[in-house]
Structure 1
Amino acid sequence: MELLQEKLDVIQKKRSNLFNWRGQFTPEFVEYLLGYFAKAGDLVIDPFSGSGTVLQESAKMNTCAEGFEINPSAYAMSKFFTFSNLSMEQRFELFNTFELKLNDCLRFIDNEEKIYQNYSDYRQAYSNLINFGKLFQFQLDKLEKILLLNILFLSERDKNLTVKQSLGKSLYYIKNALLALPSTNAKIRANLLDAREIHQQIREQADLILTSPPYINVFNYHQNYRGLVEIFNFDVLKIANSEFGSNRKNRGNRFKTVVQYCLDMEEAIRSFWGVLKPNATLIMVLGRQSNVRNTAFYNGKIVMDILEQVGGFEQANLLERKFTNKFGNNIKEDILIYKKISQL
């Protein structure tokens, strides 16, 4: 059976991602690929798990999945889907305890305190939200902090609301999302770990890697919700220098980001090889073109060249998908499908 183009392109899009993360997978696209490539008892890995779409769809299909993220804000989103392993009773208990603590803390917040103030500096503009997060986090356990982080991320968008209004709105959204998560006995895990190091944690256990790696020079992901994750003592600038093809590390010469990207991707591919079982499948989805100083670079072609040089993989298929993004731009992505075949 061949993969259907209309399914790859998600012509009939009916579902949206729970969280906002640039470059994230479309749920139906992941659902289709998992239905085609994964079977009962498989372990699916996403080394760049982003907002957790692969974890979400794997949980729906009762398939074990593990995601990895270097970015703490994306990790918090991915971690949310591990709550699929909680019973409904456990979810209610988690949420109700969190809600009681939140309401108790909100008593000390002025009713007129705004989420956003008109300052150019992010931390100053969102100082009320940041200060609330700093105050509240000390009352929470690890699971409750995952709820808090995702609530703070949601509230960042509510520029016209008060802190109390926005947090109440975000709390309601998270409650509905938590209770609507699929229930599964298949283990769903999320890890704060660099994709280049995942072979140190999993060794020849994965049946499928399904992921969308970063593209050359597209997003500085470390800037997403930066002021909020720093509340929890994450070193965001250290993470920035570790991003694939780091823009921050190569400010002096942007073309060095391309060289750095190739080195980073080679290291990741070697790690992927160590994670996969013999004859297992690797699927990477990449935006076709990136531009550095008005010079075009083709992500899929670059990664295919790296795969050929690294060895240990054989190309099984090369597909594309196309869609229109929220800005009205027509986007093409390459879908690279490889099999692990031999020693490196």
Structure 2
Amino acid sequence: MPGTVGRDYRDIDFDTSIPQAKLDIEAGRRTNALPWRGQFSPELVNILLDTYAVEGGLVVDPFCGSGTTMIESSAGGWPSYGIELNPSAFILSRLYTLGDNDITEVIQALGNVNARIMAKEMASENATSLLEAIEESEGSAEKYIAEAIFLLTLKNGDSVSAKNLDKAVAQVSKLIYQLSAKRMPIFVDLGDSRHIALEDGRASTVLTSPPYVNVFNYHQNYRKAVELLGWEVLPAARAEFGSNRKHRQNRFLTVTQYAQDIGQTLAETARVVKPGGTSVWVVGRESNVRESAIPNPQIVYEMAARGGLRLVAKHERKFRSRYGELVYEDILVFSHPEKAKISFLEADITQMGREVGVSVLSALVPADEARGKEIEEAILKSEMIEPSPKPLHVSTKAALPDLGCVAGMREPA
């Protein structure tokens, strides 16, 4: 798709090289192993990996959620690295890393956790007994399994039911027994997508779906359970991209900050992906802020193009939400040129985000006069907007497991 830099995003045609029925998953979808709001469908991940991922190279998902990209990459022959901001999703996705251990030992750990839970007198309205069983876990495998069971049992409440506990144990058990089929290593970090614990040029492919403006407060997922387990939620809440808890005095200010945050993530992926690599971003076409449609893919495209990435394909897909609404997503595929052509590395991303934010806000059609004034105010205040604060639990290179054994990877410098 030559000549996309500087073009209006809306004027770029959709690529039809992938059959629409495949992108729309018309043949029916598999159920994700772990529940998480807004997660990828496994079939879509497979299609995009088969089409765009570099064979044998490391696949990175900077917003990995419950880990669908990781497990599908591994099963398809790609090593993978995910980073996740929210402790709740991290607790779920790190279960997949247990497949790198001796599976017999992991199954034994599962049995130990189940026996410990069964030995406790489980109170139907109180999580204390279950929490005690979780805290008695020994070793990382037992801890990972036990905390995931606790999370899935409480869900978004604070009480335990036998039905939920049985279902949680069954979900985790099924996942553990399926890990024996995993083919390639999986690494998952708790951290921020703007600070990826990989050396320059270590990855070949990015496959991700970022948060959208004003859609979910992801930190609320399983919040009570996460806090009972001793994890802090507020650092993630403050760092979430596009969260509707931000800028409550004028939600249109979120648009500019979202552009800045996305730009910083794009810059970080530009650093870790080697020249010739590919980034695939699946982005919901519109968000709603005060009855104005926010073009999320346009923001991603504008920030990527200004930073030096080249759009090589733009697909669309659609599906029905759980409420029966037709939802559209754009799939943006970027190629990574040699580092000298990536202006992200020297650009003022904060200012770049302000410019993109103002451009998007200026094109909005307000629902009424009051909202029009809010948009005008957001434009005037754009120079005051800074990126979301990064949490203290950003990952570090020292915390990353050794990747030297991964096929197709360079040794650390």
TM bucket by the smaller chain? 0.7 to 0.9
2:300 corresponds to 1:285: no
**1:65 alignment partner in structure 2:** 80
2:332 corresponds to 1:336: yes
Q: Which of 122, 129, 134 is residue 109 of structure 1 equivalent to? A: 122
8 A contact 1:133–1:231 mirrored in 2:
no
Secondary structure at 1:197 match in 2 = coil
In the TM superposition, what is the alpha-carbon distance from 1:309 to its structure 2 partner? 1.8
For structure 1, the residue ranges without an aligned partner over 5 or more in a row are 115-127
The alpha-carbon distance between structure 1 residues 40 and 302, as it changes in their structure 2 partners (threshold 3 A), is closer
Question: TM-score, with normalisation over the residues of structure 2?
Answer: 0.74
Instruction: Kindly tell me the number of residue pairs found equivalent between the two proteins.
Output: 323
8 A contact 2:200–2:273 mirrored in 1:
yes
CA distance in 2, matches of 1:239, 1:174: 25
CA distance in 1, matches of 2:156, 2:188: 28
Q: How does 1:31-110 map to 2 (within 5 A)?
A: 31-104=46-119, 106=120, 108-110=121-123
For structure 2, the residue ranges without an aligned partner over 5 or more in a row are 1-15, 344-413
CA-to-aligned-CA distance 1:157-199 (integer Å, 9 cap, x gap): 598x96345323321332122102353352111110100001x
**1:238 alignment partner in structure 2:** 235
CA distance in 1, matches of 2:193, 2:113: 32
Q: How does 1:294-305 map to 2 (within 5 A)?
A: 294-305=291-302
In the TM superposition, what is the alpha-carbon distance from 1:221 to its structure 2 partner? 0.3
**2:272 alignment partner in structure 1:** 275
Q: Which of 137, 141, 144 is residue 142 of structure 2 equivalent to? A: 144
The AA in structure 2 aligned to 1:12 is A
Question: TM-score, with normalisation over the residues of structure 1?
Answer: 0.88
Structure with higher Rg: it is 2
8 A contact 1:91–1:179 mirrored in 2:
no
Aligned-CA RMSD value: 2.1
Secondary structure at 1:196 match in 2 = coil
**2:350 alignment partner in structure 1:** none
CA distance in 1, matches of 2:148, 2:73: 21
Secondary structure at 2:174 match in 1 = helix
2:222 corresponds to 1:207: no
The alpha-carbon distance between structure 1 residues 301 and 165, as it changes in their structure 2 partners (threshold 3 A), is closer
The alpha-carbon distance between structure 1 residues 233 and 88, as it changes in their structure 2 partners (threshold 3 A), is closer
Q: Which of 314, 323, 348 is residue 327 of structure 1 equivalent to? A: 323
CA distance in 1, matches of 2:301, 2:55: 29
CA distance in 1, matches of 2:151, 2:131: 14
In the TM superposition, what is the alpha-carbon distance from 1:71 to its structure 2 partner? 0.4
CA distance in 1, matches of 2:223, 2:57: 35
Which protein is richer in strand relative to its size? 1
The AA in structure 2 aligned to 1:172 is A
